[in-house]
A and B are shown apart, each in its own frame.
Chain A
Amino acid sequence: MKYIYFFLPRRVYLFSAFLLVCTQAVAQRSTFYKSKSDDKTNNSTRDSILLARVKSDKRDSLGYIPNNEIFLRTNANGAVSGVNMNEVTKLPYISIDQMLIGRTTGVDVRTPSAEPGKRNSVVIRGASSLLLGNKDIFYIQPTYIIDGVPLTNEHAFAYDIQRFDFNRNGTETNLLGYLNMNDIESIEVLKDFGASAIYGPNAANGVIKITTKGSHPGKMNVSVNAYAGFSQKPTVDVINARYESDFRLPFYRMYADDNQWRAFPKYLADSSQDRYYGPSNWDELYFRNGFTNGIQAAVTGGTPMANFRFTIGQASEQGVYDKTGFSRYNVSFGINIQPLKGLVFSTQVYGASMNRKRNEFIRDRAGDEDYLFNYEAPISPNRKYLQQYYTDLENTVNKNRNNTARIISNLKYVLNDHWQWNTRFAIDYNQNFRDFFVPTSLGEGNAFVSNFDGLNRGMILDNSIRYTNSFLNRHNLEITAGQYNQWDKWRYDYGKAYRGSSDYVKIYVPGDDNAHTGRFANFRLSFNTKDFTESRLASMYANIGYNYNQKYFVSLYVRRDGTSYLDADHRWLMSPTISGAWKISKENFLIDNATVSNLNLRASYGKVGRLMMDEYYKGGPIYNVDAGWNGTPNMATYNGFPILNVAYGTGYVVPGTSWQYVNQANLGIDLALFKDRLRASVDVYSKVDKNLVVKIPTMEEEGYTGILKNGMSIKNYGYEFSIEGDIIRKNDVQWTAGLNVYTNQNKLMALPDGLTELKMNDHRFVVGLPTDRYWLLVNEGIYNSDSEVPVNPKTGKRMSYQGVELKKGDPKWKDLNGDYNIDDQDRELKGRLSPAATGGFSNTVRYKNWEASALFTYAFGRKIINEALANRFDFVNREASNDIKGIKEIAWWSKVEGDYSKIPMYNPWSPIAAYQPNQTLFLENGSYVKLRSLTLAYTLHSQWMKERHIQNIRIYATGNNLLTITPYKGGDPEAVSYFGYDQGYYNWAAPRSYTLGFNFQF
């Protein structure tokens, strides 16, 4: 074991010491409870990797304790995709969304950057709204139901005060990171409404249901998990000014006039300058091998009358880029008590604290400061000149802390065999703090400080009563009725100040009217913003479930939801869901069949309401403070007097705005053959979002940027398929292989007012066509001379781009409508942003105590715009001094990956933006196959262990992201923005990583 400790930092030693004390105490007490020696640790590994739904048998030891489940259990008729926890707990994942890739179906995970702990996006069964900016990503995220209580995720509203659409103000930490993997009993993706309608409007984007391990009675049980490992330092092709000027000079020679030659960037002009022309070795400072480690311990035990579970854990990950990192501490405690017969009270408290060390992008800093500096002279690529810069960076403060606390209490009363009562109350509380300070040396002599204090709080109350009965041993009936309330609240306080008095005051203490110069800065250069929004949901529900002899299942769920987001006349929505299943294998004609061991047909159709993104849809014009202009979004006064204007920027809210809702149909078949040796499952789905509110353009002459109106409809449909087989199933040797596929097609069905298309920022949405396509000009080469430009025979004018005549060196773009003018009409909808098919291929081999498994994931039929490459060629427009486009990060000194040979030499000075990214020239195939993880585990069993009550010792090793096969010529095809643009060094590829870990149970 020593070699493991070698990797572990000091705090792990302390932690281990603490555990030792703990376990000794427990070991003594454990004698009070007779242990039945049940070696069930390996049971779950027999479950299939792809299809297994890890069931919690443990809870049944005390009747049925719904400790971690809401009263209504997940319906058996639903489409559910689970993750094999036994497999993923070995992997060094910090957040569960990474575990879903390739292991579940129906899920599209987008990770624009491998920055540890950063928020990313998960989409279940296709996006149901138009994606134009980072704000919209928030609105398509599934709800994470953790132990029956939704996680109150971040709200996009902080973007409203931001000038740049990069990071949202605040920590930008992935809230799911708060959960320790080893505390998770099961993760299931609930896709159809047969499975998820019980969560009401929370289920509109799908549900990811996470159940943590609960307490259970029995002998004291201690388990310890620990792992350590490292991520491998990536490599890049570094360049210096020589490379860059060699790249640019041909363009200058070909196209530049005197003025343009004169504007040749100074940092590239002087080749005697060591600063830029010296060796390029910045990568030695920028990249590193990152260490990861985690340790977690859990103690469970108790009597049937009172039992508990206590866990404590720590995990940390160092990023390989830019000295980023993430760490988490978590603690949880849960108890079940039964004070009276039939009355069970369960409560669970989970607390976690996450810290994130963020990147040092100049761009992100500009976004955080909302201020642009002079970017004419980039950072040197040479180590020699970077010392000062890195010293300056050390003087910054960039603290990002998230605290999560969840308290769930559940009271259940079993009246008799037929009647049960359940009351549940829970609070989900997430705080996020950010302290940010930039010293004078990085701010052209001006220090900057900001402070963000955000809070998301969710509260639920659920009361329900259930009646169950069986008649004639065949008719099984279950009726549930209940009432549910949910209060969600988001708020933040944000303050920032420019021109700090010194580098020593690093906290935000603004001045005020009395003391103009505050501790940090003049109050006139301090800006404070607050925002607050809340959502309330009141629901009533009833469910009737019936099955005949466990063969025919049918369930009708009806729900009535009221939202505070709509006016009194429109706030209620009735939404029914019906689902059924037919276990064909239980029919007489199959029951004795040797081949078919399981055949189950499932179907569901239902409707679920979708909450709005914001709370002002109560009808009529609305007023807000929005009197800024481009680059200055916050201007709240005029001549010192407050402004309250008609919300022209937000749009006109049509009176009578009503609920948006989703209809979804699902048909599924589960099949198992040869004594469950071959297992397969197919789901076909069609999900239609209706009555969606969308901002449609309106006549500009009334001042509005648009009208907000119900009436958009988007359909997502496709199938999910998974198959798994035990190719070898012997006592000593087992080999299981599995494959899964998820497809999604998407189509815009309708727009309000019978509109047939919508154009918004670089996007076009046409009714009847998919919404996830790029909108591109079609390249057909280059005009090598002015005379090659076609002339319109009618007007005698040359072909133009938006009215500007094309010339030598301009791209030959296809004139689709033949009007001799290239404009938006000549853009084509091309290339899928989300993959046509995605999934995983897994293999697990077990030999005696050894187990090895490999998971490949893939995505096909997906396109990427290589924006990084486009930007490199567009160098002329990216040298402006105080323009966000002019920013050159330190990683700018690396060769942009891409296929240079196919890029024509356009005139980069041309006013028509020859190298704009939105043209087919930069559209590339982004399909890939990846060897995502490889694990090897060895389980120890020995008499020696038994004597010492050690149930299990397991040692494992893993490798991650070991291999990628892709036709994409840019960087990692997975590391692209949410919108399919590869932004080069802003999108960090997931590094190769290796871990070694062990797992103890005694």
Chain B
Amino acid sequence: MKNIVVATLFALLAISTPSCKKMLDATSHRAVTEVNMWQNKNDARSGLSACYGLMRAALANENAYWVHGELRGNDFTVTKREDLKAVTASNLNASFTTMDQWRDWRRFYAAIAQCNTTIEKLPLIPGRDYRYSQNEMNCDRSQAIYIRSFLYYYMVRIWGDVPLVTKAGDGTTTSIAREDWRKVLDFAAQQALSAFDGLPWRYDGSFPEAPGQYRGQGVDHHRSITITKGMVYTLAAHIYAWKGDYPNTLKYANLVVDAKSNTQYDFTNTTDVSRIDGTFRGRNNGNIFQVDMNLDHAEISTTGQLEDWTLREPYIPKRESEIYVSKDSILKIYGEAHEQRLANWFTKMEDVYPMFYKLRQLNSDLATNPLDFYSSAIVIFRYEELFLLRAEARARQGMKDLAQADLNAVRNKRGLRDVKVETDGKDLINAIFLERRRELIGEGWYWYDLVHFNKIAEQTPLTQEEVDKGAALWPISQSALNNNRALIQNSFWK
């Protein structure tokens, strides 16, 4: 009897005790480890989408793209928020959690690091997954290269000299110094142009770089969002403009405009800019490059959206918007006769605070009792903006008539008459600047234009002396300085 019991117990033990190795080799459910990543086409594509996604996160975080690009220009007035007021006062060392975010470039570098990793890893995948052709890989990799260049261009405008990181890191590097901004831009331009060959003009299946349905979606799904040859030239033109290399700016701007049959880029009517499902939903021929948000994909949010700050009653349940363009400013900026933009892009002019109404993707699904979920894309480059860039490049090189033609093309689209024929030199440049201000309000350009056209002292409380000392750049965050000993704070903010 005893033996039977003992034997049974041992038998039970043998059955019930699992192999330790098998038991402990459980795969991680909450994260993918390196050995399981970059194995197949899906990994490649989700890694590439992460480049886009992290780029969006960097730009949208606390509305950074707009705070960096426009708020300091003072066209907008702040109602209550002290952190925003500090930005308009160029009080950029002020102590606010949001200010820490705006000073910090980690999110930009996360997106760059994701691009670096993707650029390095994608070439490995065609060998691992036969479904992923070399051609597809090239197209995907070129997109990552473009995004990296774009981010460097973006950061140079905010912080000036930035560290140039071009390889995927493993978290062990402890310091890297800032690189001269011109060299960073040279790298960005050279890299972006190198991506040209791998990209199609459009994702409609008719170009050998992306045959068939790219990622199972048609051309409308990708328009203005997925990187194309046209975006490469547009970015290159902008990079050269920031460097002051106007011949090259003109060259690449021309290449875009002249390739209209391929790009299909076109102007947008004034009403179409601000209407629901207009420019800020995008995916149209007016937008060259947009960082996408989209209700249909549930890529919507309550934060990181300019509408969150500009809209108010009766469109959303908020009595007072965070920012507005004052009546005086509006009338000053849009003082010319026949101006269409004022009526279309602003509303509630009869109130004390008018409402900036250019961005309002209150989609039909949200229109009654709207939630503060917004889905306006961040529009980076659009056709009007490119024309104004080309106008400037031409004007800078003394091509007065051609510059006026570009400028007038935009003006006419907005109801304005041609500029006076004799406008030339400084006046012409100034007219282009003012047109950019009018056209691109609320799109994150104005501050960069003030810097580029050297008009900060003229238009904001900062003095020329402060600008010369580097006040136009943003300070680097304390946490970035703490963790990278090689960094030196921008001189004005020391």
Residues of A within 8 A of B (CB): 157, 263, 266, 340, 343, 371-374, 376, 411, 413, 415, 421, 423, 425, 440, 444-446, 461, 463, 483, 485, 498-499, 522, 524-525, 527, 531-534, 536, 538, 562-564, 568, 571, 614-616, 618-624, 627-632, 635, 637-648, 650-652, 654, 697-705, 707, 759, 800-804, 823-824, 876-877, 879-882, 909, 911-913
Contact = CB atoms under 8 A, between A and B. Distances in A.
Given A532-B29, A630-B303, A699 B173 contact: yes
A631 B303 contact: yes
A568 B25 contact: yes
A340 B1 contact: yes
Contact of B53 (A630, A635, A650): A635
B30 A499 contact: no
B254 interface: no
B382 to A, nearest CB: 18
Nearest to B53: A627
Interface of B: 1-2, 5-6, 9, 12-13, 16-18, 20-21, 23-26, 28-35, 37, 43, 45-47, 49-50, 52-54, 56-58, 60-62, 79-82, 85-86, 91, 93-96, 101, 104-107, 109-114, 117, 163, 165, 169-176, 215, 217, 221-222, 225-226, 292, 294-304, 308, 317-320, 365-366, 368-369, 371-373, 475, 477-480, 482-484, 493
Most chain B C-beta atoms within 10 Å of own C-beta, residue among A536, A621, A646, A876: A646
Given A645-B47, A700-B480, A701-B484, A446 B371 contact: yes
A481 to B, nearest CB: 12
20 contacts: A157-B30, A374-B317, A376-B318, A425-B16, A444-B369, A525-B298, A538-B23, A615-B28, A622-B32, A627-B50, A629-B57, A629-B62, A640-B296, A640-B297, A644-B49, A645-B50, A699-B175, A699-B484, A700-B104, A702-B169
A729 B372 CA distance: 72
A701 B176 contact: yes
B93 A803 contact: yes
B214 to A, nearest CB: 11
Contacts of A804: 86, 91, 93-95
B82 A911 contact: yes
Q: Which of A440, A536, A909 has the largest number of chain B CB atoms within 10 A? A: A536
Nearest to A883: B81
A999 B467 CA distance: 83
Contacts of B2: 415
Given A532-B29, A803-B93, A632 B52 contact: no
Given A635-B299, A801-B95, A629 B60 contact: yes
Nearest to A440: B369
A570 to B, nearest CB: 11
Given A411-B9, A637-B49, 12 more contacts: A423-B12, A425-B16, A562-B24, A620-B33, A627-B56, A635-B57, A637-B53, A639-B222, A644-B37, A700-B479, A701-B176, A703-B111
B10 to A, nearest CB: 9
Given A639-B225, A641-B46, A648 B110 contact: yes
A938 B45 CA distance: 75
Given A340-B5, A624-B32, A638-B53, A485 B298 contact: no
A820 B107 CA distance: 31
B365 A524 contact: yes
Contacts of A373: 317
Contact of B109 (A652, A702, A876): A702
A641 B215 contact: yes
A563 B95 contact: no
Question: Which of A423, A571, A622, A699 lies at the interface centre, i.e. has the most chain B CB atoms within 10 A of its CB?
Answer: A699
Which among B31, B86, B117 has the highest number of chain A CB atoms within 10 Å? B31
Given A371-B302, A639-B221, A701-B165, A423 B13 contact: yes
Contacts of A637: 49, 53, 297-299
Contacts of B52: 638-639, 643
B82 A909 contact: yes
Given A641-B46, A646-B114, A699-B173, A499 B371 contact: yes
Contacts of A647: 31
Nearest to A563: B24
B484 to A, nearest CB: 5
**Ranked 10 nearest A-B pairs via Cβ:** A803-B93, A631-B303, A702-B169, A652-B171, A703-B113, A445-B369, A627-B53, A645-B50, A703-B110, A620-B34
Given A423-B12, A444-B317, A564-B23, A629 B107 contact: yes
Given A644-B37, A698-B171, A701-B176, A343 B46 contact: no
Nearest to B85: A911
A615 B32 CA distance: 10
A624 B385 CA distance: 37
Residue among A643, A652, A701 having the largest count of chain B Cβ atoms under 10 Å? A701
Contacts of A627: 50, 53-54, 56-57
Contact of B302 (A372, A614, A876): A372
Given A616-B33, A701-B163, A912-B94, A639 B226 contact: yes
Contact of A880 (B17, B28, B81, B479): B81
A638 B292 contact: yes
Most central of A413, A445, A638 by chain B CB within 10 Å: A638
A171 B457 CA distance: 57
Contacts of A911: 82, 85-86, 91, 94-96
Contacts of A650: 31
Given A524-B296, A615-B29, A698-B171, A881 B57 contact: no
B53 A623 contact: no
Nearest to B105: A700
B292 A639 contact: yes
B78 to A, nearest CB: 10
Given A564-B25, A645-B114, A803-B493, A629 B303 contact: yes
A641 B45 contact: yes
A652 B104 CA distance: 19
Contacts of A704: 110, 113, 169, 171
Contacts of A643: 46, 49-50, 52-53
A255 B483 CA distance: 39
A620 B33 CA distance: 7
B117 to A, nearest CB: 6
Nearest to B494: A803
A645 B26 CA distance: 22
B32 A881 contact: no
